[in-house]
Amino acid sequence: MRRFGPSLAGVLLAALVWTLAAKAAGPLLLPSPMAVLGSLWQDQSRLFVAAQQTTLAALAGLGIAALVGLATATASFSSRTVGALLSPWLLALQVVPIVAIAPLLVVWLGYGLPVAMTTAFIASVFPVHAAGRSGLLAASQDQVDLLRLYGASSLQILVQLRLRLALPGLFAGFRVAAGLAVIGAIIGEFVGSNGVPPTLGQLVVYSARSARTDLCFAAIVCAGLLAASLQAAITAMERVMIGRWYGR
């Protein structure tokens, strides 16, 4: 109770404030927590299928972002010329709003999973690249010199020293990227999903237009649980790979 008591109290307080606000605003503007729970139960089959599709898009986009982000970080660290060539493209992916790109992706890729997967990738690749780039700088010059003294090659130093020391920062970047991948996937589904099969993004748009605010909030809750689950899975992987290293 000492550990979880404050968090539980915060949740109960938020539910109380939400309930009072819902009574004041009315069910069409703000559904009550019980109405959202009722929608989660009544529409569970549709929400389950939609969550599966969004999970697939977010995972695919996050996986590609992890590979591309780590590869570009390593290439940028290894060569200043390559880093200078990649920097404008990575910066463009970071600063250009995904909402502005998503309609073009529908024209290029058509409706369905590819659009949501691409927007998830765009949203999550830069945090992985930035975390990997900074993590590769974690090794001190004394550590590098020691390995060189023992005859280690540049590749061995990269794999056996720099990448290992970069793991804590990389996992932090992965956790940030996981939440952004879910957001990116849902933004892609706003315009790139026609409802066959249903997706969480499509359900949010459909329910908002149909004045089904309870279903809209239920889809948002599912998206939040998906992002939290991905971050929890990454944290579990981190504990397996680096254990209590760095005092975790």
In this model, does residue 100 exceed pLDDT 70?
Answer: yes
Rounded average pLDDT over 123-137: 92
pLDDT value of residue 248: 45
Q: Look at residue 195 and tell me if it is in a domain.
A: yes
Confidence of residue 15 (pLDDT cuts 50, 70, 90): confident
Phi and psi based region of residue 158 (left: phi greater than 0; alpha: psi -120 to 50; beta: remaining): alpha
Q: Look at residue 67 and tell me if it is in a domain.
A: yes
pLDDT value of residue 222: 96
Q: Look at residue 22 and tell me if it is in a domain.
A: no
Give the whole-angstrom CA distance, residue 131 versus residue 141: 20
Q: Look at residue 122 and tell me if it is in a domain.
A: yes
| Nearest partner of 62 among 118, 105, 101, judged by Cα | 118
Q: Look at residue 68 and tell me if it is in a domain.
A: yes
Using DSSP's 3-state secondary structure scheme, residue 243 falls into coil
Give the whole-angstrom CA distance, residue 25 versus residue 16: 14
Q: Look at residue 15 and tell me if it is in a domain.
A: no
Give the whole-angstrom CA distance, residue 39 versus residue 196: 20
Cα three-residue angle 70-232-241, rounded to 5 degrees: 55
Q: Look at residue 105 and tell me if it is in a domain.
A: yes
Q: How many structural domains does the chain have?
A: 1
Confidence of residue 2 (pLDDT cuts 50, 70, 90): low
Give the whole-angstrom CA distance, residue 89 versus residue 109: 20
Give the residue numbers spanning the domain of 172: 33-247
- Paired tokens of 70: 């780590």
Angle between helices 33-42 and 213-242 (to 10 degrees): 80
pLDDT in tens, 168-178: 889 999 999 99
Cα separations in angstroms, 162 against 46, 77, 132, 157, 186: 46, 11, 10, 6, 35
221 burial level (CB within 10 Å; 0-12, 13-18, 19+): middle
pLDDT value of residue 110: 87
Q: Which residues of 143-156 are buried (b: 16+ CB within 10 A; e: fewer)?
A: eeeebeeeebeeee
Q: Is the pTM of this model over 0.85?
A: yes
Task: Find the CATH number of the domain harbouring 49.
Answer: 1.10.3720.10
Dihedral sign (CA 80, 82, 84, 88): negative
Confidence of residue 6 (pLDDT cuts 50, 70, 90): confident
- Paired tokens of 108: 């290029």
pLDDT in tens, 197-225: 899 999 999 998 888 999 999 999 999 99
Q: Look at residue 170 and tell me if it is in a domain.
A: yes
